[in-house]
């Protein structure tokens, strides 16, 4: 990669790391389109979407850990929910990475674009469910967790854009839901990264220094940045008007999704 590409990754790593801690949505919705741009700008043409998804999840292994540690220091993580919710989420994520390995990059990119538009609309409209019930039992959590893991693997995210609304619907306070979502993002990221390594292992035509669908130079560059900035976002989540920041983030998502959509329609 050129110095320009490395600087672009570093800059977006700052943004993604802060967002991961601040909004509980992970940095994948920013990282994936940036990684696609960087990889295609470097001349990569094969399995670019797979590489972006796997690399994004690998970066979040480190980002999530740093974010969770900061939230835990504030005493905001509900570890009882994490223990119940994490196993089905991991299974769903692992299943999704194996299914994604068989899908063409174009179909995965369509899924990412549609998901980004849906989440952006939800943030702009501030459409969040009102707390009206308790967390479901084992069967209910298994179904929801499996679906969150599956979708997260297709989009390269930590699942916060789904787990936070679900937990608030189940009467978990917003700040606790964000912190607990960050904790759930770590097993999603780890199982997703390992799953994409496995599903891409031995695939012909991948760039040098790839471990399956994980591009190691990008992981190293982004991790150096995001591990430093995620705790900053976690601290800011307790001080800043998160609702207004989410609207700004939604605007960024619409722009990046529209760029990917333009390429899909005219590529």
Phi and psi dihedrals of 175, rounded to 5? -65, -35
Q: Is the pLDDT of residue 25 over 60?
A: no
Residue 26 has pLDDT above 60, yes or no: no
What is the per-residue pLDDT for 131? Answer: 65
Whole-angstrom CA distances from 149 to 90, 143, 154, 186, 240 are: 6, 10, 9, 11, 29
Q: Does the pLDDT of residue 6 top 80, yes or no?
A: no
Instruction: Give me the mean pLDDT over the 183-191 stretch.
Output: 92
Q: What was the pLDDT predicted at 20?
A: 64
Give me the mean pLDDT over the 149-155 stretch: 94
Rounded to a whole number, what is the distance in angstroms from the first to the last CA of the chain? 23
Instruction: Label residue 53 by pLDDT band (50, 70, 90).
Output: very high
**Do the Cβ atoms of 236 and 22 come closer than 8 Å?**
yes
Whether the predicted pLDDT of 195 surpasses 70: yes
pLDDT of 197 reads: 97
pTM for the whole thing?
Answer: 0.86
Candidates 226, 235, 236; CA nearest to 57 is 226
pLDDT, averaged across the chain? 85
Question: Which pLDDT belongs to residue 1?
Answer: 62
Q: Are 213 and 53 in contact (CB under 8 A)?
A: yes
Alpha-carbon span 32 to 108, nearest angstrom:
11
Q: Which residues of 21-53 are buried (b: 16+ CB within 10 A; e: fewer)?
A: bbbbbbbbbbbbbbbbbbbeeeebeebbbbbbb
| Predicted confidence (pLDDT) at residue 77 exceeds the cutoff of 70 | yes
pLDDT band of 73, cuts 50, 70, 90: confident
Query: Is 70 in contact with 235 (CB distance < 8 Å)?
Result: yes
Higher pLDDT, 153 or 126: 153
pLDDT digits (tens, 9 = 90+) for 210-248: 999 999 989 988 888 877 777 777 677 677 776 777 777
For the cut 60, the answer to whether the pLDDT of residue 24 exceeds it is no
Percent above pLDDT 70 for the chain: 91
Residue 254, C-beta contacts closer than 8 angstroms, at least 6 positions apart:
116, 117, 120
């Amino acid at each position: 990669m050129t110095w320009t590409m490395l600087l672009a990754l570093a800059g977006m790593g700052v943004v993604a790391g802060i967002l991961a801690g601040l909004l509980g949505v992970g940095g994948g919705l920013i990282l994936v389109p940036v990684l696609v741009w960087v990889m295609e700008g470097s001349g990569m043409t094969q399995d670019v979407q797979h590489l972006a998804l796997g690399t994004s999840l690998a970066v979040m292994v480190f980002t999530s850990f740093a974010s969770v540690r900061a939230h835990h220091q504030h005493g905001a993580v509900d570890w009882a929910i994490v223990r119940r919710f994490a196993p089905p989420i991991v299974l769903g994520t692992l299943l999704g990475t194996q299914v994604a390995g068989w899908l063409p990059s174009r179909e995965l990119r369509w899924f990412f674009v549609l998901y980004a538009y849906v989440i952006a609309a939800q943030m702009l409209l501030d459409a969040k469910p009102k707390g009206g019930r308790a967390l479901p039992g084992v069967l209910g959590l298994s179904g929801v967790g499996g679906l969150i893991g599956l979708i997260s693997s297709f989009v390269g995210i930590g699942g916060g854009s789904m787990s936070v609304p679900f937990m608030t619907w189940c009467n978990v306070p917003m700040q606790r839901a964000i912190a607990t979502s960050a904790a759930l993002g770590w097993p999603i990221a780890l199982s997703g990264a390992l799953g994409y390594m496995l599903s891409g292992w031995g695939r012909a035509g991948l760039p040098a220094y790839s471990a399956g669908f994980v591009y190691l130079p990008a992981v190293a560059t982004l991790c150096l940045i995001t591990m430093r900035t995620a705790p900053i976002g976690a601290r800011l989540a307790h001080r800043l008007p998160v609702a207004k920041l989410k609207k700004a983030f939604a605007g960024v998502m619409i722009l990046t999704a529209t760029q990917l959509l333009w390429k899909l329609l005219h590529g």
